[in-house]
Structure 1
Amino acid sequence: MSSNLPLISILIPVYNVEAFVQEAVLSICNQTYKNIEIIVVDDCSTDGTYNVVAELVKIDSRIKLFKNEKNSKIVKTLNFALEQAKGDFIARMDGDDVSAPERLEKQLDFLIKNPQYYLVGSHVNTIDPNNIIIGKQEMPIKDKIINKTIKYASPVLHIWLAKRKVYNQLNGYREVPGAEDYDFLLRMHSLGLLFTNLNSFEYSVRIRDGNTTSTIGFNQRLMSNYVVELYEMRVTTGQDNFTSLNVQEYLNKYSGYRENFDKSNILLQKAFMAKGHKKFFKMFIFLIMSICKSRFQTQYLYKRIFSKLLLKG
């Protein structure tokens, strides 16, 4: 691969992923597209995550390793990584997931051949801690479907490749904990900047106890609702009243519903795991129990089912 091709900067925020981070980073190091820089930022892990990546730095000079002075959470960590990036294209990767070898090459090829698009994701597999595939998620491809589903669910997962100028235009990520990626896409959509997905599976998201995917929290559900409200405000009035104070007020408003949601979320996670292992009766029971526990979970599942129905036409 010629070195005069565009530089891709891959942002990898990591926190307590000692058991998986080597496989994650190596899946990027071993991409068929070679003109990359890999920016890993450790958010003050309490395990050996930093040391594992430090060993990888010794064998691949494209890896740039940083460590936050204090635990700063995902948005500040991502924006710090973005400040270090020199590439014309920005990619995302989580420290416990796996990228297919041709992921970046295919995504970059799509953006170059389809200049009307500014960002592209892909379909994803879901895997367990032992790398066994327990599910598949097809993402929308057609603009018409993306426009219809965007208020119900994020049409592109965070594992995208985007043009750097989009990040410059949006000034990076905003502090909406757990919904920063969805907010990013909604702000793009407000500006008429197109995005889509490859019609192929180029990424595997790991489901395990303790990671973001398996512990999707109450705040994340609330923030997803909040960023959609901001989006609708921009579309109808052209205004956006996002502030850190408004975010906190929104979280405080619904704080009394947290306990039931947390119980519901445990049941929902059990339902997903049962589905992955084809135990459908058990999945159904856990799903009903989860819905009965929390109206926010019911709302989430309704949006998820509705967006899938739209996706299937």
Structure 2
Amino acid sequence: MAVYNKEEYVAKSIESMLNQSFSNFEFIIVDDGSNDNSPDIIKKYAKQDSRISLIQNDANLGLPVSLNIGINAARGKYIARQDADDISKPDRLEEQLKIMENNRDIALLGAADELLDIDDIVFSKQTYDEGPNSPNHQNIIKTLENKGGYIFAHGSAFYRKEVVKKIGGYEKTFIYSQDIELWWRFHKNNYKIAYLNKTLYSQRIVPEKFRVKSVYQGKFKNYLQDKIQLDNYHFSDIDVILNSLIKARGEKDKFIDSYYLSNYWFILSKKIALNKGNLKYFIKYLSRALRERNMLRTKMYKLLGCIYLYLFHRTNRSDQYSENELIYLN
């Protein structure tokens, strides 16, 4: 687990791992130069539980570099990812380990997840039914190959250390979408990827993810798509793209803060609408979005769009899952 300034959530994340039904593991936490109370929180837990091993970077090196540091320090044969603001279900490691031990051909295993808001409320589940969008259909791999598409939460990943080191670990220039890039290399090198359609992970959706990530996500996906199609791995100019985007933001931070907080609540509302979730929280999130400072016309368009989706959209996703449904993605 890599941590950077997650003092608000890191304790819950750590506790979710320490309370696993399977207990024979080492918990490597890489603090990536945090300047909040995250290191002190981690140290407190490390004193209480000898399974925790804390590595502290001297500076903020970025998620891919920190994950590679953790992988290189690991002594076990498997790596289970965990994000510092997310929560693993108590049986997560036990379930995923059982699958990997009984299916030696699987190199990478993801799992269904649920989405949490900043108040710890579950507002959506990312499981699949057997409709045309089910991950056992070939269009999922096509999405991964052609669009750099999302197939499961990065934090739910469970993979063989030997394989991830053999294919080079995380690409350090992918500050975002590093999971998609790595999954594609699993696939390219003919290692099997599978998905357990059981909710084992809680992914927290926080405003910061939209404030920063949404600025760069389109550029990264387009860039990833081009590189995959060309089968050409020269990523040095990604930093040039990022620096240009950062400079383009200029002095608009105050507006951006309000804009992305508003967008955060609208996105949560949209996710509930797409999954026909709880009406109470749908209304709550919309009202929070409307209270943020933002352009009125933009908010009205988003409000009407969310209401339309909730009333009329039909989805193939389901909040129900098959307890032992293992789906091969390639």
Q: Which of the five TM-score ranges fits, normalised by the shorter chain?
A: 0.7 to 0.9
Q: Does structure 1 conserve the Cα–Cα contact (< 8 Å) formed by 2:112 and 2:126?
A: yes
Letter in 2 for 1:200: K
1:180 to 158, 178, 181: 178
Q: Are 1:247 and 2:243 matched, yes or no?
A: no
CA separation in 2, counterparts of 1:310 and 1:129? 27
Alpha-carbon distance change, 251 to 130 in structure 1, aligned in 2, over 3 angstroms: closer
Higher relative contact order (CA 8 A, sep 6+): 2
1:89 to 78, 93, 97: 78
Q: CA deviation at 1:250?
A: 4.4
Secondary structure, counterpart of 1:57 in structure 2: helix
Secondary structure, counterpart of 1:217 in structure 2: helix
Alpha-carbon distance change, 116 to 133 in structure 1, aligned in 2, over 3 angstroms: same
| Superimposed CA distance per residue, residues 30-69 of structure 1 (whole angstroms, 9 cap, x where no aligned partner) | 1111221111111121221111111111121010011111
| Range moving further from structure 2, 87-96 or 106-115 | 106-115
TM-score, length basis structure 2: 0.74
Q: CA deviation at 1:266?
A: 5.0
Secondary structure, counterpart of 1:77 in structure 2: helix
Alpha-carbon distance change, 29 to 132 in structure 1, aligned in 2, over 3 angstroms: same
Match of 2:154 in 1: 158
Q: Does structure 1 conserve the Cα–Cα contact (< 8 Å) formed by 2:64 and 2:178?
A: yes
CA separation in 2, counterparts of 1:278 and 1:108? 36
Q: Are 1:273 and 2:271 matched, yes or no?
A: no
Q: CA deviation at 1:272?
A: 1.8
Q: CA deviation at 1:230?
A: 1.5
Q: Does structure 1 conserve the Cα–Cα contact (< 8 Å) formed by 2:265 and 2:285?
A: no
Match of 1:146 in 2: 140
**Residue ranges of structure 1 left out of the alignment (5+ in a row):** 1-11, 235-239, 294-307
| Superimposed CA distance per residue, residues 127-185 of structure 1 (whole angstroms, 9 cap, x where no aligned partner) | 12231112222265416242133234221221200011221122111121111111001
Q: Are 1:169 and 2:161 matched, yes or no?
A: no
CA separation in 2, counterparts of 1:107 and 1:258? 42
Secondary structure, counterpart of 2:93 in structure 1: helix
CA separation in 1, counterparts of 2:230 and 2:45? 46
Matched residue pairs, number? 279
CA separation in 2, counterparts of 1:149 and 1:311? 17
1:71 to 55, 60, 78: 60
| Range moving further from structure 2, 74-83 or 215-224 | 215-224
2:117 to 122, 128, 131: 128
Percent of pairs with identical residues: 26
TM-score, length basis structure 1: 0.77
Letter in 2 for 1:55: K
Match of 1:302 in 2: none
Q: Does structure 1 conserve the Cα–Cα contact (< 8 Å) formed by 2:266 and 2:285?
A: no
